[in-house]
Amino acid sequence: MRITHLLAGAALALVAACGTTVQTTAGADYLARYDGSYDVVAGASGSEVDGEVRRIAAVEPDIRFPARIGLARIENGRLAAIPEREAEAWAALAEQLDGAYGEFVPVSPLIAAMVSPAPADRHGARYAGDTIADIRRGAARQHLDYVLAYEVATAHSSRGSAISAADLTVIGMFVLPGRSVQAEAAASGILIDVRNGYPYATLTAFADRRGLSRTINAWEVRQDMLRDASAKAVLELAGELGTALELLKVASEEKAAAAANAAQEAAAGAG
């Protein structure tokens, strides 16, 4: 399945609706705030963690469009194939965006397995960090620029009558700890840069018996999709992703404009 769709860029912003957070902060700017004093005040011990934190913070956003965007579904803690109904939900987003951001490409579990190390656990268990790393490896082999890793939980598959954050084992829901969610299904995802792991957006969406949100209701979707709780949650997640991409596009354009202005001023000064 190949899905054409439009990506976008933006600055740090919190979006209403189900729950979307977008980030494009620069690692260099973050580290510049240390200004040499951080080592003395907060990291006097010179611990290994201090250096690790600086290394982790140094990652930079590099969001550009059009792009090849991976879709990676996580099930039972592992990368899995995207079910047909969920694939239709992503196709609905692609149709709505009309190819402006590039294309959606599912991350193949087989390709990811080919390029990922065998689990160290003798029972074959993999953990959250392993799964995301495997997804990035598979996406890299498919030459994808960014990847949306996502999970879905349904009420009938949860331990109780309501969905909880524990039902999503890798991504997790971005709701208050201990708060139950009265919904048919929940979907949660993270949009990351394949090459450096930069997290551009975190998304959470819910599906309930009241139907779809106003935005999604305008899309061309088959009625039988609405009877599939997982597909409904993914439809809502697709809507959240569309919002995140719009914000990211704004940030990307603003960054490009600022760079162009700086180059013009430098050229004028040199002249």
Structure tokens at 222: 């088959």
Comparing 56-65, 120-129, 135-144, 261-270, the range with the smallest average pLDDT is: 120-129
pLDDT at 268 over 80: yes
Can you give the pLDDT at residue 17? Answer: 39
Structure tokens at 263: 């180059």
Say if CB 216 and CB 235 are below 8 A apart: yes
In the chain, where are the structural domains located?
3-25+61-265
Grade residue 47 by pLDDT with cuts at 50, 70 and 90. Answer: confident
Query: pLDDT tens across 66-101, in order?
Result: 999 999 999 999 999 999 999 999 999 999 998 888
One-letter amino acid of 82: I
Closest by alpha carbon to 244, among 195, 190, 196? 190
Q: How far apart are CA 77 and CA 269, in angstroms?
A: 55
Can you give the pLDDT at residue 7? Answer: 29
pLDDT at 245 over 70: yes
Angle between helices 229-270 and 84-97 (to 10 degrees): 40
Grade residue 124 by pLDDT with cuts at 50, 70 and 90. Answer: low
Average pLDDT, the chain: 81
Tabulate helix, strand, coil % of the chain (nearest 5). Answer: 40, 20, 40
Q: How far apart are CA 45 and CA 256, in angstroms?
A: 40
The pTM of the whole model exceeds 0.85 = no
Could you tell me what percent of the chain has a pLDDT over 70?
76
